[in-house]
């Protein structure tokens, strides 16, 4: 059985909603095990034991969130040259743009020689004031559906050994 690892971090709930939607989509594929882990608890062993990855986090100050960066920092060299060729996708919950966070994940994935199965999915909440930024997020049904589709696509590709 193939395993899809979903690593997530969220402060205000937006990225968590996105990751949960992707996991729901992936779980439609009964021949793929979905491993759902918070970035703070995940690490190199989970990456080594999985066949594909989905990374979900908010963009903070034009970068991936600190705990997601910590996950990558703790894992990078431990799995370097051991996971190349595996598929991945990324989800970014952003206040205004999200592109820098998406590029940061892409650069890390490129270093690991992972294969992107789709462009990063960025959901923009348009939160611009301190109050809006810190407020719990509510991701809309259309965006959650897009996240679910990414999870389903990744899991189906693993099940069919396309990726």
Neighbours of 145 (CB within 10 A): 11
Angle, helix 99-112 to helix 66-79, in steps of 10 degrees: 10
pTM strictly above 0.85: yes
Between CA 43 and CA 58 the distance in angstroms is 19
Q: Characterize the bridge pairing of strands 63-64 and 52-60.
A: antiparallel
At residue 84 the predicted structure's pLDDT band, cuts being 50, 70 and 90, is: very high
pLDDT in tens, 138-158: 999 999 999 999 999 999 999
Instruction: Burial-class residue 133 by CB neighbours within 10 Å (0-12, 13-18, 19+).
Output: middle
pLDDT in the model for residue 112: 98
The CATH number of whichever domain residue 42 belongs to comes to 3.40.50.360
Can you spell out the DSSP letters for 13-82? SHHHHHHHHHHHHHTTSTTEEEEEEETTT--HHHHHT-SEEEEEEEEETTEE-HHHHHHHHHHHHHHTTT
Residue 66 belongs to domain spanning: 2-159
**Domains in the chain: how many in total?**
1
């Amino acid at each position: 059985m193939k395993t899809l690892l979903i690593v997530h971090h969220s402060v205000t709930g937006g990225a968590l909603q996105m990751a949960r939607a992707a996991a729901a989509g992936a779980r439609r594929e009964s021949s793929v095990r979905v491993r759902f882990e918070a970035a703070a608890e995940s690490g190199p062993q989970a990456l080594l034991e999985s066949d594909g990855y989905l990374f979900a986090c908010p963009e903070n100050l034009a970068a991936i969130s600190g705990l997601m960066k910590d996950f990558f920092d703790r894992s990078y060299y431990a799995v370097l040259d051991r996971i190349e060729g595996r598929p991945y996708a990324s989800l970014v919950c952003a206040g205004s743009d999200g592109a820098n966070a998406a590029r940061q994940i892409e650069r890390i994935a490129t270093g690991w020689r992972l294969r992107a199965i789709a462009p990063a999915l960025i959901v923009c909440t348009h939160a611009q004031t301190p109050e809006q930024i810190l407020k719990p997020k509510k991701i809309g049904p259309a965006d959650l559906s897009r996240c679910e589709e990414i999870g389903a696509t990744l899991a189906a590709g693993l099940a069919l050994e396309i990726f």
